[in-house]
Amino acid sequence: MKNYTIKILILTIFINCRFGFSQPEIPVEKWKGKTVLLVGAHPDDDYMSHGTLALLNENENDIFILTLTTGNVGTKDLKISKSDLSKIRKEEQLNAMKILGLNEENYINLGYDDGRLEFANKEEIIAKIVYYIRKIRPDILMSFDPGYNYQVWHKSDHRAAAYLSADAVRAAEWHLMYDGQIIFDDLKAHAIPEFLFYGGNPDDKNTNVNIEIYFEKKILSGSKYISQWSSGWDNYLGSNYKNYPDGEKERVFKWLRKKTKFIDGIPVEQFRYYKGIPDRMGHGKRRN
Ligand SMILES: [Zn+2]
């Protein structure tokens, strides 16, 4: 057994003893044939999971990304309009997905305004997420962690996304909720059995995914968010690093590498895994 594996095992036992919750019975690295839906607030929230998405895609899982906002205020560049930024950020996200091997057809953007998700019509958003849950019928939901025994503080759109997706998951399994979708859209109620929550409290994370093989792919896909993580944040000069000051690409790559979590020299992505009914995803001891 590799030194790394032993350390991960000890860490897992420690976490399980401390918090009483479980990792997946089958490690994420061995998941196959599953349908995965990732819900994010902005067109770069998926980056936290890019190594895992690349791995899951390679292992013949079907991956969908649903982004709630267009990301249309995420810039300090005074020259860019909201509509231009929406287009830029959509292009960046699709370019990143392409690197990960994900299809454009598997991308959904609900088009809400960046920074104002909490003030949008919540029931309308939940109904839309429910629609896609019933249509896609995922086995796994990946989303911002709504919290475990307490609410996790996220910045506004992220906390809205955490709760909206959790509430949508609950609604999707009841056929009399949003029953117009069942009657008129020929959809069926759907219960999502497993969850990988990202972006939560580090103490709550119980699952490390080894992304060593996909690390460079993650860095490359992350580098596509040029409006967010380069000098393009202040002064956007297009989607090609050639238009930017010397060494820009290298700086972004270096920053993304530094941002990655390593355990014993191995790059990992960390999640809180949960299996069970939506009502218990945020509290109590796991039954499994
Ligand atoms: Zn975000």
CA of 179 to the centre of ligand 1 (A): 31
> Tokens for 225?
């968010």
pLDDT the model gives residue 4: 53
Band (21; pLDDT cuts 50, 70, 90):
low
Give the domain ranges of the chain: 3-213+261-280
Band (286; pLDDT cuts 50, 70, 90):
very low
Pick the CATH number of 3-213+261-280 from 3.40.50.10540, 3.30.1490.20, 3.40.50.2000, 3.40.50.10320: 3.40.50.10320
Band (6; pLDDT cuts 50, 70, 90):
low
Task: Express each pLDDT in 101-153 by its tens digit.
Answer: 999 999 999 999 999 999 999 999 999 999 999 999 999 999 999 988 788 88
Q: Angle between the 215-222 and 50-58 helix axes, to the nearest 10 degrees? A: 120
CA of 205 to the centre of ligand 1 (A): 19
CA of 45 to the centre of ligand 1 (A): 5
Task: Express each pLDDT in 227-282 by its tens digit.
Answer: 999 999 999 999 999 999 999 999 999 999 999 999 999 999 999 999 988 888 87
Residue 20 scores a pLDDT above 50 = no
CA of 123 to the centre of ligand 1 (A): 21
Band (3; pLDDT cuts 50, 70, 90):
low
Separation CA 252–CA 245 (nearest Å) = 12
pLDDT the model gives residue 287: 41
Mean pLDDT of 202-216: 94
How far is Cα of residue 243 from the mean position of the Cα atoms in its chain? 30
Residue matched to tokens 């196959």: 32
pTM, 2 dp: 0.91
Mean pLDDT of 189-214: 95
Separation CA 196–CA 198 (nearest Å) = 6
CA of 154 to the centre of ligand 1 (A): 10
User: How many alpha carbons lie under 13 Å from residue 7 in its C-beta half-sphere?
Assistant: 11
pLDDT the model gives residue 83: 97
Nearest C-alpha neighbor of 145 from the set 78, 214, 201:
201
* Residues that place a CB less than 5 A from ion ligand 1: 41-42, 45
Task: Express each pLDDT in 44-54 by its tens digit.
Answer: 999 999 999 99
Q: Which helix (H) or strand (E) holds 110?
A: strand 107-112
